[in-house]
């Protein structure tokens, strides 16, 4: 908040920590998927035979408290799309 510039990041934790908005891959889902992938390898599958996986779950966090401090109004349509709104 020192520079008072609206900032958007890629990790949901950043939005929870004070960034205006964050949109990115859900890290917990990534860890879960990595565990499943590792279990397949330990189960005997060859890593070269496994498909490349892409993230499928993304999280949008909007920090309404930060928006208020910056004097910004976040559209209600954007708030409705958010997975998490910090009040």
* Domain membership flag for residue 57: yes
Question: What is the arithmetic mean of pLDDT over 15-38?
Answer: 92
* Domain membership flag for residue 20: yes
* Domain membership flag for residue 37: yes
The confidence score (pLDDT) of residue 40 equals: 96
Pick from 19, 17, 15, 16: nearest CA to 6? 19
- Taking only the tens place, the pLDDT of each residue in 43-77 is 999 999 999 988 888 999 999 999 999 999 999 99
Distance CA 33, CA 40 (A): 11
The confidence score (pLDDT) of residue 42 equals: 97
What lies within 8 Å, CB to CB, of 79 at 6+ separation is 62, 64, 85
| Structural domains in the chain (count) | 1
Which domain, by its residues, includes 46? 8-86
* Domain membership flag for residue 1: no
The confidence score (pLDDT) of residue 2 equals: 63
* Domain membership flag for residue 34: yes
């Amino acid at each position: 908040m020192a520079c008072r510039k609206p900032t958007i990041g890629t990790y949901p934790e950043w939005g929870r920590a004070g960034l205006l908005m964050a949109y990115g891959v859900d890290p917990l889902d990534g860890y879960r998927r990595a565990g499943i992938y590792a279990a397949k390898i330990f189960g005997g599958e060859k890593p070269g035979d496994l498909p490349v996986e892409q993230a499928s779950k993304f999280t949008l966090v909007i920090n309404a408290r930060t928006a208020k401090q910056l004097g910004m109004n976040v559209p209600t349509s954007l708030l409705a799309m958010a997975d998490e709104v910090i009040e």
